[in-house]
Structure 1
Amino acid sequence: MLRQLFPYTSHWNVKLSSTTAFPYEGAVPAVMQLPGGRFRVMGGDPFRVIGERGSAEEAVALVAAHLPPGLRMATTGLPMGDEPMVKPGMTKPGMTKPGIADPPPAGRRAL
């Protein structure tokens, strides 16, 4: 199943998502490299440690053992069961145009 997920990095962690674009799915445990060649696997909440392993292969096996039920293969779109956080082409919820929170006053044009 891991090969069917989208890999990305964030804050020096390797993460896997069932979406290929932001917002990424955060249900799959992440892997952080530690000093000395060890790896920490963290689930759901970034501060919840699932375990530490001595090799990348062992860390990946731990991730595979903690996959959430019902996980789907990577697809373009929103995380499982989420409503759109941002409309396509918008940068923040409620924006009418990218980067513009409200339409310009009558007689003025948007930059």
Structure 2
Amino acid sequence: MPIAPDPAVLYPHVAACGSLAEALQAEAEGSLDAVLVTSPSSAPLLHATVASLLPHRAPLQISAWMHERRWSIRGEEPFQNMPLIDGETNDLAEVAKAVRMWHDGAALNDIRRAAPFVHLTGRFEVPDHDPACLTESEWQSMRQEADELAYAWQEAYQALIEAAHAQPTLRSLYPFTSHWALRFSTTTRPRLTVVGPCLMANSDGTYGVGKGFISQDLGQFATAHEAVALAVRHLPSGLGPTTLGG
């Protein structure tokens, strides 16, 4: 693994300001004067955070890359610690725009319009932590992620996600993935309660269903709809509405 250069060499303008927080203030040309942007004493040139006026937004995280001049952002909701926005850019002034709008509570779409490097994850904000809305938000993010994938088996994986979403019983459960295996929970994050089989899209275009994690002991199928139909039949009876997993 190559040795990371000294951050002061990679980011001399940030080093001149003393911290990434101060560099963001300088790039903002006054628009962040009333906003508290902080950097940790342990790595002041590489990290910064800014809180939001909205209590249902966690502080925006800004991080500098170690091996090339670039910055990443991540803005989460604090109940599940799942990202609402992320993105990467080599333009610190664009980061400063996103910082200001996240702090001010601007709508997610407006942040994206103001700073086009910002990527919307598909999740929407659920200030009251309604479990049905959190479940819908997670499905929306999962469907968008499947659509954006660039892997060779992207079409098969997307077909699996769409077939599962089309089933009302599965759509009412909270979806999550581990190693690209689709699973379901009767509770939202942060504490999942796994229920039912595990579904997988295989590299050869088939679909597997299994009782356990990354298992296909219940069978392999030529179509996503067949696999999903079997998964539905193996769900326990009497499942109620999804509840909060906290």
Aligned to 1:9: 177
Aligned to 1:52: 220
Aligned counterparts of 1:22 and 1:31: Cα–Cα separation in 2: 22
Deviations 1:31-56 (A, max 9, x none): 0111221011111x334611111111
Aligned to 2:190: 22
Give the Å deviation of 1:58: 1.2
Aligned counterparts of 1:22 and 1:39: Cα–Cα separation in 2: 28
Q: Runs in 1 of length 4+ with deviation above 6 angstroms? A: none
Percent of pairs identical after alignment? Answer: 38
Aligned counterparts of 1:25 and 1:50: Cα–Cα separation in 2: 21
Does the 8 Å CA contact 2:208/2:216 hold for their aligned counterparts? Answer: no
Q: Match of 2:177, SS? A: strand
Aligned counterparts of 2:216 and 2:177: Cα–Cα separation in 1: 18
Aligned to 1:69: 237
Specify which of 190, 206, 216 is matched with residue 38 of structure 1. Answer: 206
Greater RCO structure (CA 8 Å; 6+ sep): 1
Structure 2 runs not aligned, ≥5 long: 1-168
Aligned to 2:94: none
Distance 1:72 1:39, change over 3 A: same
1:76-87 to 2 correspondence within 5 Å?
A: 76-77=244-245
Higher Rg: 2
Q: Where is the helix percentage greater, Structure 1 or Structure 2? A: 2
Give the Å deviation of 1:9: 0.8
Q: Which amino acid aligns with 1:33?
A: A
Count, aligned residues: 77
Aligned counterparts of 2:206 and 2:232: Cα–Cα separation in 1: 17
Aligned counterparts of 1:15 and 1:6: Cα–Cα separation in 2: 8
TM-score computed with the length of structure 1 as normaliser: 0.61
